[in-house]
Amino acid sequence: MPDKSNQPRLEQLGAYPFERLKDLFDGHTPNPELPHIDAGAGEPRLPLPGFVADTLNKNLGGFSKYPSTIGGIELRSAIAAWLKRRYNLAEVDPVTQVLSANGTRESLFAIAHALVNPDTQNGERPYVLMPNPMYQIYLGAAITAGAQPWFLPCTQASGFAPDLASVPEHVWANTALIYVCSPSNPTGWIADEAYYRELLELADRHDFSIVSDDCYSEIFWQKKPAGLLEVAEKLGRTDFSRCLVMNSLSKRSALPGMRSGLIAGDAELIKRFTKLRSYTGPATPLPLQHVAAAAWSDEVHVAQHLDVYRQSLKAFFGVYGGDIPAGSFFVWLPVADDEAFALAAYEQQAVTILPGTYLGAEDSNGINPGAGFIRAALVDGPDAAKELARRLKAVRI
């Protein structure tokens, strides 16, 4: 019988990091004498911003209507206004340059399906470039869209900047898109203006699109991260050609359960993506669109959240030692053996963290730059961060 239902691209994907973690912990128990600390997932655990319940209540009637996939003009206008304020942009057109997203996860995945031609080009399938280690959605997106993933190593030696110089000419020539993530999950690296400028030059030279995952843009230690659209505009690219940015209310507003975010940039790319999304249909319910518009229009709650993250980072590194990352609420710590360390942290200290190996991929040299690191999320406030640091320091492998 022919194999009609097996999807070979899906088969190429490994298990998702949290599935691998479940397997690692299978048959092991956390130290019963300590309360469990879950620093595995990047899930902000802060109180709901005050406007959420009121705005939702006022707009409950919207649940009886089908929302449009692109998002209502009120929400897209609030997003455009936020982008203009945040990045000092002269103009963002809410009609042609902005879409609503159901969180960035789905849009980061789906975009590769809109922008990659899976047919062979010049004898090989196009490449999708991504940092390594990375948010694993980029990898899943590249593979299922029929592209070849190409990994940009992010190593301690280069401050965890994804290494553009390591990309061979034949890969650039066949690149369809590149994912950037700044501030980076998991390393905390932040792209500066020069990095974006270099990317834009490369994109023009080799004809590819840039997708910038900005979902930690409001979580930084000292310097507010620059943005791709801002750099594009400074270079006179007011149409944001080749650029798409994605951002989310999950981290900025601590609303991961609301599943709301934004996509913005090049109107041509937005148009292509809109076509795909008109079939996949990830529309945000209307009452949630109202909450989202309120969240993009308020910076008070964002500043309060940032204060908590900064206190948490300070508390953690005050005990653990080492340098505070430039951005995000993750700590990325070198250890001798990341899987052994994560298992020991679970058994000895009742702490859940992720081995870096699960967030990286083996590159063409057989190297996984995530190996030898663990990732912990500081999402429960400064006291919990201090306790987490004490416990991680006490782990023995």
Ligand X SMILES: Cc1ncc(COP(=O)(O)O)c(C=O)c1O
Query: What does the alpha-carbon distance between residue 177 and residue 138 come to, in Å, rounded to a whole number?
Result: 11
Of 75 and 344, which has the nearer Cβ to ligand X? Answer: 75
Indicate whether 103 belongs to the interface with ligand X (CB under 6 A). yes
Q: Is 181 in the site for ligand X (CB under 6 A)?
A: yes
In this structure, the strands spanning 261-265 and 98-101 are antiparallel
Sign of the dihedral through C-alpha 109, 111, 112, 118: positive
Binding segment (CB under 6 A) for ligand X, from list 99-107, 158-166, 192-200, 293-301: 99-107
The answer to whether residue 277 forms part of the interface with ligand X (CB under 6 A) is no
**Interaction of residue 326 with ligand X, rule CB under 6 A:** no
| Contact pick of 140, 227, 261, 327 for ligand X (by CB under 6 A) | 261
Question: Considering the rule CB under 6 A, would residue 182 count as an interface residue with ligand X?
Answer: no
- Find the binder of ligand X among 161, 162, 180, 213 (CB under 6 A): 213
Of the residues 105, 301, 305, 375, which one makes contact with ligand X according to CB under 6 A: 105
Place of tokens 């190429």: 12
Q: Which is nearer to ligand X, 249 or 395 (CB)?
A: 249
Q: Which residues contact 235 (CB under 8 A, 6 or more apart)?
A: 197, 200
Residues numbered 233-252 forming contacts with ligand X, rule: CB under 6 A = 248, 250
Minimum CB–partner distance for residue 248 and ligand X (Å): 3
Question: Is 368 in contact with 325 (CB distance < 8 Å)?
Answer: no
Q: Which of 215, 232, 262, 384 binds ligand X (CB under 6 A)?
A: 215
Q: Which stretch binds ligand X (CB under 6 A): 98-106, 113-121, 157-165, 345-353?
A: 98-106
In the complex, least distance from residue 183 CB atom to ligand X, rounded to whole angstroms: 9
CA distance 360 to 17: 10
CB of 201 vs ligand X, minimal distance in Å = 24
Q: What is the Cα–Cα distance from 107 to 111, expressed in whole angstroms?
A: 6
Supply 342's token pair: 């994560």
In total, the chain counts a number of residues equal to 397
**CA separation (Å) from 294 to 7, 76, 112, 253?**
41, 12, 30, 10
In this complex, which beta carbon is closest to ligand X, that of residue 213 or of residue 387?
Answer: 213
Contact between 44 and ligand X (CB under 6 A)? no
Among 42, 227, 327, 382, binds ligand X (CB under 6 A): 42
> HSE (CB half, 13 Å, CA atoms) of 23?
10
Q: Give 112's DSSP letter.
A: H
DSSP state of 357: G
Residue 217 found at the interface with ligand X (CB under 6 A) = no
> Minimum distance between the CB of residue 256 and ligand X, rounded to whole angstroms?
5
Q: Using an 8 Å Cβ cutoff, are 184 and 131 in contact?
A: yes
Q: What is the pairing mode between strands 209-213 and 243-248?
A: parallel
Helix H or strand E encompassing 98:
strand 98-101
Say if CB 148 and CB 116 are below 8 A apart: no
Pick the closer one to ligand X by CB: 108 or 245.
108
Backbone angles phi, psi at 396, to 5 degrees: -125, 130
Among 135, 172, 332, 358, interactor with ligand X by CB under 6 A: 135
344-383 residues in contact with ligand X (CB under 6 A) are: none
CB of 395 to ligand X, least distance (A): 24
55, 97, 185, 212: residue in contact with ligand X (rule CB under 6 A): 185
Residues in contact with ligand X by CB under 6 A are 42, 103-105, 108, 135, 181, 185, 213, 215, 248, 250, 256, 261
